[in-house]
Amino acid sequence: MFSYFKDGIKDTSPLKIIDLPDLVKIIRNNPLLSQIEAIRELKKRGDNYYKKLKEKLPNITPNCIVKERNLKGDQFEINFISPSGYLYIDIDKVPNLQEYKQYLIEKYGSLASMICISPGGDGITLIFKVTNTITQDNFNIIRSSLISTLLKDETVDPNSAGIGRAMFISHDPDVWVDYTNSITIQTGDTEKLETHPNTCSSSYNIVDYHLFNKTTGTGSTLDSSSFNKYKIHSIDVVLSTIKTKTYVPVSNPVVDFNPIEYVSTYIPRIITDGNKHRTYYKLIHQLYYLNPGIEMEYLFSFLFFVNNTRAKPRMEMRELVRFFTLTVERIKSTGEVYVDKNTQRVHFNPSAGITPKEKQVIAAQLNGAYARSLTIQKIITARQELQLQGKRITNRAVARIIQMDEKTVGKYINAAPVNMDYEVSLWN
């Protein structure tokens, strides 16, 4: 059960108490979808105005039920009613959101109660039901134990701590939920938790079973014969056979400007222990998406090369084969491939012979022109709207309509539309 606050972060008096099914229902069909979409778009563009919009969203206290959201000092005894029975975890600034969300579902699906995309659109919210009795004194110890054991491979947002912490309610039509899951977290002093990282209950061991011992798409459990099924090709052969990024044909001699969904593999220079499964999971999905119909031995050979040259320490061969096989079989059985498709607009002709520095300059100029074109078009549309309403056209009135800084509106209020074809022609 959670305390629900309707009117944003400044509203400290809860309207009502809701339970997890109520919360999931709101997240799936959030009536404030347009506001959340605006928040995500502004944050993506680096516009800090998203923070003001976010602060107006309804929210809950996910860790407890309160009379008032004020638990500082003596107010704790007055306003704290009871723990919620859940622990809230936030993972922020996720580069490949859908892939990472699926990875979390795969890894913690037998343990977590809820996993969804956060309101900002670049993070993940997790809620775990715990059997521990939570108090003001042991909350930080229990939460720290959860993070240092079960979630030790994840980068948890440190700002999401605090027993009275608010959680803004997001929108995610594909919110994942399991009402039957619960975990018990062993408590102890800080020193004990640091020296014995696996202090979670036996439920923690379910992660390994859930991730590695699933049945394949054919319904048969993987056995030892599965570990000799892939032929290892040299990296030269592999790179001449597979694609590691979306191929985009370029018609101009130097550069095209064309919005295209683009997928490109990224391999960290060093893949540290604790990040291998997440990195390899993402890489397998990217390679599978970019190379439909190719023999799996080529994709495995690429993963094998990455594991041998980038992983510190390397994943054991048996585990590497098993993880690859399980991931591929799941893709085949479900038809679901999780990749983040970024829109890339600037594409260079590989025969142009220009340097990386020159590419950076050209891309910056064209993307800047495109950003100006969007801004100017918004201003033109707002001016037309004001004119139709018979209202006075001012910088402030336009800025209010499009939620843009008034100085920016003033800079472009009389600017002509940007001709992107002309801007591209300057470089060709």
Packing angle of the helix pair 296-310, 276-290 (nearest 10 deg): 150
Given a contact cutoff of 8 angstroms between Cβ atoms, the answer to whether 187 and 138 are in contact is: yes
For the stretch 341-382, pLDDT in tens is: 888 889 999 888 888 889 889 998 998 899 899 999 999 999
Looking at residue 210, its pLDDT comes to 28
Residue 408 has pLDDT above 80, yes or no: yes
Give the SS3 label for residue 27.
helix
Looking at residue 404, its pLDDT comes to 86
Looking at residue 343, its pLDDT comes to 84
**pLDDT interval class at 167 (50, 70, 90):** very high
What's the start-to-end Cα distance of the chain, in Å?
Answer: 62
What is the number of residues in the chain? 428
d(CA 80, CA 88): 17
State mean pLDDT over 163-175. Answer: 94
Residue 206 has pLDDT above 50, yes or no: no
Residue 127 has pLDDT above 90, yes or no: yes
Q: In whole numbers, what is the pLDDT of the chain averaged over residues?
A: 84
Looking at residue 79, its pLDDT comes to 92
d(CA 147, CA 141): 10
Mean pLDDT lowest among 175-184, 238-247, 267-276: 267-276
Residue 227 has pLDDT above 90, yes or no: no
For the stretch 94-113, pLDDT in tens is: 878 888 899 899 888 889 99
Residue 185 has pLDDT above 90, yes or no: no
Residue 328 has pLDDT above 80, yes or no: yes
Give the SS3 label for residue 339.
coil
Looking at residue 196, its pLDDT comes to 26
Phi, psi of 245 (to 5 degrees): -160, 165
Looking at residue 194, its pLDDT comes to 29
The amino acid present at 50, given as its one-letter code, is Y
d(CA 147, CA 185): 11
**pLDDT interval class at 216 (50, 70, 90):** very low
The pair of three-digit structure tokens given for residue 203, joined into one six-digit string: 């439920």
